[in-house]
Structures are given as C-alpha cells and as structure tokens.
Amino acid sequence: MRHASIPSKLFVENRARLAQLLQPKSLAVINANDILPTNADGSLRMQPNSDLFYLTGIEQEESILLLAPGAFNEKLREILFLREPSEHLKVWEGHKLTKEQAQKISGIQQVKWLSEFHGVLRLLMCEMEHVYLNRNEHSRASAETETRDDRFVRDCQTRYPLHHYQRLAPLLHQLRVVKSAAEQELIKEACAITRAGFRRVLRIVKPGINEAEIEAEFAREFIRRRGAFAYTPIIASGANSCILHYNQNDQPCRKGGVLLLDVAASYANYNADLTRTIPVSGRFTRRQRRVYNAVLRVVRAQTKAAVPGKLHRDWQKEAEALMTGELLALGVLKPRDVKQQDPDKPACRKYFNHGLGHSLGLDVHDVAPAVQTFAPGWVLTVEPGIYLPDEGFGIRLENDILVTSGATIDLMADIPIEADEIEELMSR
C-alpha cells in the first residue's frame, strides 16, 4: 500500500449503503481480481478490484468478501477471507495481511483464512434465498478474459442451483457513481499530484525533446508523491495529437508543433484524468491559438452545464451544438455541411469524434448508469477536442469536475489551462 492509510469509516459506510439495497435473506459475494500472467513465469502487478476496494479497502490478491446482512448469526453478516500468511510467502512475495491489519483497514471484525471459505459459504447458502454475484458490467468492457468473478459465478450456480441469483453490479454502480466527501478528497489528492507533474513538464518541454523523456518526468513526480499513472499516458506531439489513444510515446517534439498530454495520476486507487495541449516552442501559432480557445470555450460552457437532473446524452448533444458553432467560425465546417447533416451523425463529429466526458472515480471510465441523471456527488471529466489531421495538429483539453446542488466545482481549477498562462509558464 503506497498511499497513506484511509479511515475504515469510508468502507464501513459503503457496506452499510449496499446492505440497504439487498433483498431480505440475501448473500452477496465479491472477489479480488486475478493476477494476470505475461509470458514464461511472469505476471503483471495486480490491479485491485474496484468493487472489493470500495467495500473493504483491501488490495490483496485472492481476497473474498461475504455480506449477509440478515444472517441469524451476527458474526456471519460480513466476513473477509484472506490468504493465510506463511514463511514461504514472506520470503517469495513479501508481507501478507494479518487478520488484525485487515480488521483495521476494512472495519470488518470477522476475518478468516481462505481455507474456511467454502464451509462458511455453505452454512450461509442453507439460510439464504437470494444470492448477489458480481461481474464487470461496464457498457464498454471487454469480456474476452475470464475473471475470478466469472469462475465463481459458474461454480456457485453449479453447487447451489436452486437459489435465486441476482446481479450485484447494478447496485454497486448506483452507489459508486455518487462520491462521498472522503472519496472526493482522495480524487482531489490525485488531481494535486497530476498538477505537480504537469507543472514540472511545462519547465522542460522544448523542440527536440522526446515524448519518452516527458513521460519519465511525469513518472518521477507521480511516484515520489505516492501516486501512480491512472492510465497509460498519452504524450502526443505534432500529428500524433490527432490519434485519440496514441501511446507510442517515442517521437521527438518538433518546433512549431503542439504537444497533447493526456496524463493523470491515481492515488489510493482513485483517479484523476487530465488533458492539456501545449506549444512545443513555447508559443502557439495564431491558428493553433484560435482552435485552442474554441475548445476551451466548450470546456467552460459544459462545465457550467453539468447540473443535477441532466442526462449524459443531452449534455453531449449540447456540446456538439456548441462545437458546431466553433467549427463554423474556424472555417472547418461550412454552412452546407451543417444543413445537410444527419441529426444522428452531426457534421462536427468529423473533427470532434469522441464523448464529451465520463464518470470518474475508482475506475478512470467509472461506472455510471446511463439512465440516471447527474446528481450531487458525481465526478465527471469534461474533455472536448478538435482534431485537424490535414493541418497536422489536434487540440484536446480536459478537466475533472464535481456536480453539486449549486455551482459545479472544477477540481482542476488550479491547473493552468488558459493559453496565456501556459505560454507564460513555459517562458520561464
């Protein structure tokens, strides 16, 4: 655990909220993520399961949470199962949580070793009628790799075929999309680490520097502040700035070009998401600045427009209408293009070909039910862009915002975004 400890109150309250959504006589099971293999005997670093972390704060492999709020035996209402530490594991893999440490992190008093799991599960299954099992139900998730949850679903339904099985994911999506005050503070810390990385990079960018060198500077700042990359960084210079998910990050930055930086930090598994586009030579050309300011106006407008009661799809349509006007003013679109456009495929999508933003939290593209309207506590990204491959550059800007019952809060208000401020800082 690189980050500072988090008070267990956060996880206790999260479990209590979930318990209120379960039917009577219900059991819920949440598994840790697998450690994914590479080649030979290699493996990737484990990514904590977002749902398990949300409910327990536990980041250790093979962990399992059982929740049975209505169990007759009070000691079986919430149980955390862990790998049992041993001298062998200590030598080869390092420290594993003791029961006392897991209790302190999660606030769960009943912590058992994995060897006891199936016996306790059977005891509870004999009492419960409804079983909530978990899967990754993000609308854009890739389902090609079988997960630990997938295997458990199959095994559980084979062993206990007569129970009523329910989907846990929709309940967790409903809860996780609204960030508590404690979660907001963790996201703010991720934003602060991101700010430090971006300001560091502003001091070193100049013609001839390689994209890889810039990535290294972000890494240094993030790691020394106990953070990590929230996602694979995009360091895209020149024409690369028109590639939405460019991650080659190995080209030289050339005089007169722009550098698109889609790079942000993660702290305690909570993520920031930042994009800035800066001039490699320290000053935007007149054309670059015009496009830049057009994108910035959409950022400003749609930040204010992210209000409670609005659907994401309507927020997106508003952004596309604004972007259409900006593209007309830039001469990129012609009036006839707009007049002849398909309403379902507006002409602006040729140059603004992605979503305006997404929910943000324990996942960068965090879970958020599409049918729900924005509500206080939602954290969103605002990331419009204009991409002009024929002119050799693209501009994308992105901030993270918090929806409230009053004015929307820009969580990145202290990260430079105005063209004049970017140029002034680079000139130093």
CB 283 within 8 A of CB 268: no
First-to-final CA distance of the chain = 37
Task: pLDDT band for 343, please (50, 70, 90 cuts).
Answer: confident
Under the phi-then-psi rule, with left for phi > 0, alpha for psi from -120 to 50, and beta for the rest, what region is 80? beta
Check whether 143 has a pLDDT greater than 80.
no
Task: pLDDT band for 144, please (50, 70, 90 cuts).
Answer: confident
Check whether 251 has a pLDDT greater than 90.
yes
For residues 330-342, average pLDDT:
95
The whole-angstrom separation of Cα 74 and Cα 350 is 59
Check whether 140 has a pLDDT greater than 90.
no
The pLDDT score that the predictor gives to residue 74 is: 96
Task: pLDDT band for 325, please (50, 70, 90 cuts).
Answer: very high
Q: Could you read off the pLDDT of 88-138 as tens digits, one per residue?
A: 988 888 999 999 999 999 999 999 999 999 999 999 999 999 999 999 988
Q: Residues in the chain, how many?
A: 428
Check whether 142 has a pLDDT greater than 90.
no
Q: Could you read off the pLDDT of 57-73 as tens digits, one per residue?
A: 999 999 999 999 999 99
Query: What topology does CATH give the domain 181-427?
Result: Creatine Amidinohydrolase (3.90.230)
Indicate the pTM of the whole model: 0.96
The whole-angstrom separation of Cα 275 and Cα 358 is 14
Give start-end residues of each CATH 3.40.350.10 domain in the chain: 9-175
Task: pLDDT band for 246, please (50, 70, 90 cuts).
Answer: very high
Q: Using the CB atoms, write b or e for 151-178: b if 16+ within 10 Å.
A: ebbeebeeeeeeeeebebbebbbbbbbb
Give start-end residues of each CATH 3.90.230.10 domain in the chain: 181-427
The pLDDT score that the predictor gives to residue 139 is: 84
CATH 3.10.50.30 for domain 9-175? no
Q: What SS3 class is residue 217?
A: helix
CA-nearest of 233, 225, 229 to 189 is 225
